[in-house]
Amino acid sequence: MSNVYLDHAATTPLDPRVLEAMLPYLKENFGNPSSFHSVGKEVKDALDDARTRMATILHVRADELVFTSGGTESDNLAVLGFCRANRPSTALRSAQEVREHTPAQEVRGHIIVSAFEHHAVLEAAMHLEKKEGFEVTYLSPDHDGLISVDQVMSAIRPDTLLVSIMYANNEIGTIQPIAEIGNAIQKYRADATKVAVNSGFKATSVASGPIFHSDACQATGFLDVDVEKLHVDMMTFNGSKMYGPKGVGALYVRRGLKLQPLQFGGTQEKSLRPGTENVAGIIGMAKALELVQADREQESQRLTVLRDTLIAGIRERIPKVRLNGHTTRRLPNNVNISFMDIEGEAFILYLDAAGIYASTGSACTSTTLDPSHVILSLGLPYEVAHGSVRFSLGHSTTMKDIEYVLETIPPLVAKLRALSPVRVDPKYYE
Amino acid sequence: MSYSQPPVTGKAGDVTTKDGGKSWFYTDVVKDHFFNPRNFMHEDANPDDYNAIGKVGSPACGDELRVWMKVDPASERVLDFRWKTFGCGSAIASTSMASVMVTENGGMTLTEARTIKPQHIMDRLGGLPARKFHCSVLCDKALRDAINDFYRRTDQVDKMVVEASRIIDPISKVTDHDIEEAVLEGATTIEAVQAKTKVGIGNPSVLPAVEELIRFYKEKYFG
């Protein structure tokens, strides 16, 4: 039976070279890095080494990395930790308002996120909105699944604390202009600083401009993660999407930023993330990052060919389909297609029976009954979201796999369509 | 690349958990009806051959079900029962099973068919995952909708039945009578009924049931 795993955006298998790097720290080198004896010191050295190697790739300082339990925790720490620690206590005015002599406004603290962020960012922001009095602006992507620099900049207010826009979307793979947004935010902040110095107002009454966070979990295997070039202040990484272990992640936090920890009880990770470090996991993540980054251009080229073959093949063989997300400004491994008139979970089960493992934005596979918020944010109706299927390619994917998928799925779609009473409005796929 | 995927256990065509255990995946009977659905409405079938139709759900809420029923006017037995379903595996399998249940052994009478509950369908399927039960077993409702349609078409409006007052939305505590009143006041779409009752706002899982009621009362009072 065929066995085609096309769910690499959910998680990737562990690279054997990563496992090899981890094994000593699961076996003989078991010490606690906080211990003052040589058993602990040995492990502390390995931990520091992993931190340094990861920092080198990301072009950051080693002490700017906080190790966490994964992407979700990193996102939560960035959003909750930063906003809670930096809530404005005084009235603020923007540089523009200083120039125009507008009186300072009483403010609540404002957050900007895209409407199709991962739930780890989205629900953290919603929590701050509902329970802690912050205000949140949700930026809708355009029909191609892209957020623009102008959109972000025109949403900024004097009390905007944080902008969080993901590097690449986890469902539709669209790549956001992170470097451009980061650059614009940096300029905004430089302008604010200049005005604050020259205005004669108390510097604290002039808005210093927002901090920029980006979730790079899906992007790490394919895109440039040089933080300096991207102009981000915080960035989320995850081990289990790049052939590293599960249960480990990192948050880059630019030096000087103040965050409130989410948990207490130790001084590890500069007290931002207390608790004995997941040593083997961190060492595995560092190794995984090195491997995917060394290989990323070659692997991206290879997968782009497979991705485009799959997209073109589906379009050619199956009527009434829609590619969700921009055709080229998307990750090399992401294909997200809505098959009209059928429901994703049923399709996933038919695919599963044929040995093809993919995922869907249908409500049926979520714990709520709502379908994918990502597909809905593109301005598409519920039935199109229910019929969306994500094929995410990876190291193991070959042209033979793509050919097998293309051979296998047309009759499955036809069969489910024969059972379906739904006929989606042609304007959504023509 | 140097690594290969780990082998996956399980026979071809088998939807199963890797541990072979009893987690949320489906029973053999469910799988059989899902992969080999019975009695679905073929593309080339003529809807005029049927004398009752029923509908429940909408694609927006993730499940839509339509049924076509041929009822013998004299005996009121179900001679044929056809369906189409947009929905997940358990929605398709439960509809297929319901179509077997109403037509086997010479067909149920409409009185018998009306007593079918989701529980009965689930029992015949050998069980469904708990979280699938409420959202995906809708075919009993489509069946009752079709039964009412038969009585409406045959001018036996007194035999049309909708269950006595019951809470439709446990969050807004809206009952079927609230919806009946909203329809009588002229609200004939989900949005209009929601504007009057707040039913299903923040709890969209109840919307198929609301939609079914709106359609029922609309037909009952406005034909």
**Higher per-residue pLDDT: B134 or A386:** A386
User: A interface mutation test: which of B23, B86, B132, B136 has the most A CBs within 10 A?
Assistant: B86
Whole-number average pLDDT of chain B: 82
SS3 B53: strand
Per-residue pLDDT at B61: 66
**Higher per-residue pLDDT: B132 or A290:** A290
Within a domain: residue B3? no
Give the residue among A16, A45, A60, A404 at the shortest CA–CA distance from A245: A16
Interval A242-267 mean pLDDT:
97
A15 contact residues in B (CB cutoff 8 A): 3
Report pLDDT digits (tens) over A291-313: 999 999 999 999 999 999 999 99
Within a domain: residue A423? no
Of the partner residues A350, A352, A371, the one whose CB lies closest to the CB of residue B62: A371
Per-residue pLDDT at A225: 97
A353 contact residues in B (CB cutoff 8 A): 12-15, 35
Q: Enter the pTM of the model.
A: 0.85
**Higher per-residue pLDDT: A133 or B132:** A133
Number of structural domains, chain B? 2
How many alpha carbons lie under 13 Å from residue A85 in its C-beta half-sphere?
15
Q: Does one domain contain both A8 and A24?
A: no
Within a domain: residue B16? no
Q: Does one domain contain both B60 and B116?
A: yes
Q: Give the closest-approach CA distance of B152 to chain A in angstroms.
A: 23
Phi, psi at A235, each rounded to 5°: -145, 140
Cβ B62–A16 below 8 Å, yes or no? Answer: no
Of the partner residues A3, A353, A386, the one whose CB lies closest to the CB of residue B13: A353
Q: Which domain holds residue B197?
A: 162-223
From A290, A310, A342, the end of a domain falls on: A290
For residue B202, name the pLDDT band (cuts at 50, 70, 90): low
Per-residue pLDDT at B15: 45
For residue B164, name the pLDDT band (cuts at 50, 70, 90): low
Q: Which domain holds residue A250?
A: 16-290
Q: Does one domain contain both B41 and B66?
A: yes
Per-residue pLDDT at A387: 93
Report the CATH number at residue B45: 3.90.1010.10
From A264, A290, A316, the end of a domain falls on: A290
Whole-number average pLDDT of chain A: 93
Report pLDDT digits (tens) over A180-202: 999 999 999 998 888 877 776 66
Within a domain: residue A226? yes
Q: Does one domain contain both B83 and B187?
A: no
Please tell me the distance from the alpha carbon of residue B187 to that of residue A19, in angstroms, as a whole number: 62
Q: Does one domain contain both B142 and B203?
A: no
Report pLDDT digits (tens) over A62-109: 999 999 999 999 999 999 999 999 987 766 777 777 778 777 776 789
From A290, A324, A353, the end of a domain falls on: A290
Report the CATH number at residue B172: 1.10.10.1100
Integer CA distances (angstroms), A100 to A95, A96, A110, A195, A288, in order:
9, 6, 22, 12, 51
Within a domain: residue A426? no
Cβ B15–A421 below 8 Å, yes or no? Answer: no
**Which residue type, as a one-letter code, is found at position B66?**
R
Per-residue pLDDT at A94: 77
**Between A and B, how many residue pairs show a Cβ–Cβ distance under 8 A?**
97
Residues of B recognised as catalytic? 61, 135
Report the CATH number at residue A202: 3.40.640.10
Number of structural domains, chain A? 2
Report pLDDT digits (tens) over B52-74: 999 887 777 678 899 999 999 99
Give the bridge partners for B81, in sequence order: B69
Q: Does one domain contain both A8 and A34?
A: no
Q: Does one domain contain both A225 and A106?
A: yes
Q: What is the DSSP letter of A329?
A: S
Per-residue pLDDT at A89: 72
Interval A32-60 mean pLDDT:
97
SS3 A264: coil
Per-residue pLDDT at B220: 79
How large is the ipTM?
0.82
Q: Does one domain contain both A104 and A61?
A: yes
